Chains A and B, each alone.
Chain A
Amino acid sequence: MAFDRPKELLKPIKPRWIVLSFVLAIAVELLPLDATLANWLPDFTAMLALYWTLNQPRRFGIGWSFGIGLIADVASASVFGQHALAYSVISYLLLSRQRQVVMYNLGQQTLVVLGGLLISQFVMAVCRMLLGGPWAGSGYFIGPLIGALLWPLLTKVLLLPQRRGSLPG
């Protein structure tokens, strides 16, 4: 959309880039890591769901977040519907403020993303506690902090295919 980045004209995104980004995020989810290291790894799938909701709201919305969440559920061997619920919720919250947030600069967006990722983790923790699981511990909330710090970088990388003359396709 032309309003997304007022400072430069971008090529329209091809759906295959969206798909490829999610394939990579799920691959990260499948990496054989131990639990402490996995806590430090941000939830890239959630970050991508936020990114595409923010920048391509006509292509990517709550329904897609839900579907991606189901795949993330299987990839992380957690209960069905846990990631799906969390991603739908953050996707909805962001969508309701999308026109505002998309005008923010990257620093301000980072704060919004931090909030979104924390809400996602919180929803998942509450789901598991309602089903009788234990509290995940405060280490569970390190991932969102690192994820938010990586947001500017992620935005720059994901904009590459849309820049003129930078990549073929």
Chain B
Amino acid sequence: MDIASSPRFFRRGPKPLTRLLACGALSLGLLVADAKLHLLDPARGALTALLYPMQWLVTAPPEGLRQLDTFLTTQATLTHENQALRTYQLELEARLQRQAALQRENAELRQTLNLRSQHGGNTLPAEIVYTSRDPFTFTLIIDKGSMDGVQAGLPVIDARGLIGQITRVQPLTAEVTLLIERNHPVPVMIQRNGLRAVMYGMGGQAEIRHIAAHADVQVGDMLVTSGIDGVYPAGLPVAKVAMVDRNGGSPFARIVCTPLAGVGENRTLLVLNETLNLPPRPEAAPAPKTKSRRKRGSDE
């Protein structure tokens, strides 16, 4: 029977199984291309831009309600708050003056030591548009994108400390991967004694791996960024040590930390758009001829 002359109703294209295999193969290809090879970020950017008006429509009504609520706050609350804020401001100003003096002194000292100043650039306030619905990752979407000068890799903080790092940038929005994302490393330093370590996210909390069991770590120790990675500026508060487990059977202590920043609470964040004036990385030493197993495990 001639296929071309049969009525349109009978023509149904390829079989469903063929279609499934085609779509399945395509999706698997996309999965690998996106998650392992990171080839699809431009396509994602374009699609996100298309979805942006819809996103705005969805987030606008709650925003309007919040503004109405702000407008209707009673005067008593405002006066009370005003007073509290005034006291707080005085306190902060005193602290700021002290810090200004310290900063000047520090700058002078650095100059004398001929050190490069590591900080420069500015900060960019951003607001959380929504948290990702994907339950496998800990990410936030903020309302600043490449058009505001956000780049992938910039650190993001809130009032209490480091929150995470920009991982994907679209024209109008950007994605922040939180500290607690699984295996997200942050080089930290224990503020009390300057011991350096690397903190890894565990999904909800974070841990310090590969630190000797006899190392001087106590519950309650404050962890700040060490600044030796070239990504995070030094001295940002990161987390507090919540538990130290020194198991006799293991050469390493198990250290669990809780992030300081309100990962699920704040709406406004600060993107640190700082350029770190670091000297160029020295050339890597030529690899030894003998077969070494170093390469393994360093692919993270």
A residues apposed to B, CB below 8 Å: 23, 26-27, 29-35, 38-39, 58, 61-63, 65-66, 69-71, 74-82, 84-85, 88-89, 92, 95-96, 127-128, 131, 133-134, 136-137, 139-140
Contact = CB atoms under 8 A, between A and B. Distances in A.
Contacts of B51: 26, 30, 71, 74-75
20 contacts: A29-B133, A30-B55, A30-B59, A30-B130, A32-B59, A32-B62, A32-B130, A38-B135, A58-B12, A61-B16, A66-B26, A74-B51, A78-B134, A78-B136, A78-B137, A80-B35, A82-B27, A84-B30, A131-B36, A136-B135
A49 B28 CA distance: 20
Contacts of B109: none
Given A30-B54, A77-B175, A131-B35, 17 more contacts: A31-B130, A32-B131, A33-B133, A39-B135, A70-B47, A74-B51, A76-B133, A77-B132, A77-B133, A80-B30, A80-B34, A80-B43, A80-B44, A81-B26, A85-B28, A88-B20, A131-B36
Interface of B is mostly: helix
A109 to B, nearest CB: 20
Interface residues of B, number: 45
The 3 lowest CB-CB distance pairs between A and B, nearest first, are A81-B30, A85-B27, A32-B130
B54 A79 contact: no
A117 to B, nearest CB: 15
Nearest to B141: A77
Contacts of B58: 27, 30-32
Interface of B: 12, 16-17, 19-20, 23-24, 26-31, 33-36, 40, 43-44, 47-48, 51, 54-55, 57-59, 62, 128-137, 139, 141, 175, 182, 203, 264
Contact of A80 (B33, B135, B264): B33
